[in-house]
Amino acid sequence: MITTAQPDSNIVLYDTMQRRKVPFVPTTPGHVGMYLCGPTVYSGAHLGHAKKEVAFDVIRRSFMHFGYAVRYVANITDVGHLQDDSDDGEDKIAKRAALERLEPMEVADKYFWSFMDDMAALNVLRPSINPRATGHITEQITLIEELITRGHAYESDGSVYFDVRSWPEYGKLSGRRIDDQEEGTREAVRGDKRDARDFALWKRAEPSHIMRWPSPWGQGFPGWHIECSAMSLKYLGEGFDIHGGGLDLEFPHHEAEIAQAEAAGHAFARYWMHNNMLTIGGEKMSKSKGNFTTIEDVLKRHDAMVVRFLLVSSHYRSITEFSDAAFEAARNGYRRLSETLHEIERRFSDAPDGSDAALDRRIEAHVTAFEDALRDDFNTPKAVAALFGLSGDLNSALAAGTVGRATLERARDAFRNLGGGVLGLFAGGSAAQEDDSQVLGTLMALVLKARQNYRLNKQYAESDELRDTLTAVGVTVEDTKDGPRWRR
């Protein structure tokens, strides 16, 4: 990735805390510290994860393009995230472990690596640091002790809660006043809380709870919110630059993070950035609506670069629509850009020396438009439009005759550095490869149908032979309650 010689000082971003676009000024000149709330690794990553991860990957790549050194920390929640995001109920990982008859850390590792595979397919850069909650129990306990000492947390029957009323600024990120927040939740009847709005920092482990650690308050495990405060401060320091995450985490998770850190006396994140959600066929994705889709499943039907192109074609603060029509538009758009790049590379070796001054100026204008779009709160739709403008000018020039090697090189570098380096496209994917992916999906559907017919006819030897043949070429078939599924 080509970067500017000096860090660009003209970047503006939308800060959720201030509810407006503001100039970005780093804590340390030339450096950016970013923290992203990562996944709870108890199941396969879904399209919502893809939206968030690609959005902040582009933001990270943009800072790098503009000359900044970026430390990018994304946590992994492998304990403490309870069902319904509450202070009660089962730990999500422990519940999955019981379902799959695995140890909790087996579940966490299984879905962590599944998540990393999905991110690699989508060409998301690996974080600088991927801290896990279970690896930072000591840091979380220390932060909890600081809060108790300062009078902002209290122990109750082996659990520790944050005293929301002790911190009047609670709610400043989301704009929710403490007195306006509902008390009529199921936590209201809990006898170990002083106030229904107090949230868990440490939970006492019941005898059946597998994941537990010793603490000053007895055997237990950390609450969901405390890990991010502790780990972001550990690896990025006081007053780090940017904290990011999905809009659904603004309250209560991010609100709790801020309260925990600041009430303990630590300067916390200076800018807050949130990506919006996605819809499928105009509806919010949910298991109850039958439109819940994992990244693994969508990559069986669409090339990863087409999926990424669809994601960067909408602004990170806008809702992204996933539908057949949206994928078809993305597929055609990505084909157009990738074919232009392919044609430039095909002609490069035989191109005559020299350049076209007028075309060079148009290329430079498109590059400027692309970079200006990113400086304006990472406006990827406008950046993509600049790439289409570049593609149109290059296609017209190539159709009209020969183009000098120096101009082709300038155009190639623009596609690679902007479309590839910043937007993360052109990573081995193409529209032609998506055609292959669709063909493969159709063929596998036929193979699985044939295998199912063998089993129905009690031709188990033939069924096993078909499965073994697929295994030999790297295709795994899994029999689930919803029918057979395949994966590479």
Could you list the residues known to form a binding site for Zn(2+), using ranges.
37, 228, 253, 257
- What's the full length of the chain, in residues? 488
Beta strand ranges found along 270-371 (DSSP E): 271-275, 278-280, 283-284, 320-322
Backbone angles phi, psi at 107, to 5 degrees: -60, -50
Please report where in the chains the tokens 């650690």 appear, as a residue.
213
Q: Is 190 exposed, middle or buried (0-12, 13-18, 19+ CB in 10 A)?
A: middle
Q: Give the residue among 203, 188, 189 at the shortest CA–CA distance from 156.
A: 203
The closest alpha carbon to 314, from 330, 298, 294, belongs to: 330
Binding site members for ATP:
287
Cβ contacts of residue 487 below 8 Å, gap of 6+? 296, 300, 475, 476, 478
- Please give the annotated binding residues, written as ranges: 37, 228, 253, 257, 287
Number of continuous H segments (helices) and E segments (strands) in the chain: 14, 15
**CB within 8 Å of 262: residues ≥ 6 apart:** 167, 169, 268
Helices within 237-316 (DSSP H only): 255-263, 295-301, 304-312
Spatial contact of 197 and 181, defined as CB atoms under 8 Å apart? yes
In three-state secondary structure terms, 185 is coil
Distance (Å, whole) CA 158 – CA 388: 60
DSSP class of residue 126 equals: P
Question: What's the rounded Cα separation, in Å, for the pair 311 and 323?
Answer: 12
278 strand-pairing partners: 320
Are 186 and 89 in contact by the 8 Å Cβ rule? The answer is: no
- Which residues of 127-232 form beta strands (DSSP E)? 153-156, 159-162, 199-204, 220-222
Structure tokens at 437: 């992916």
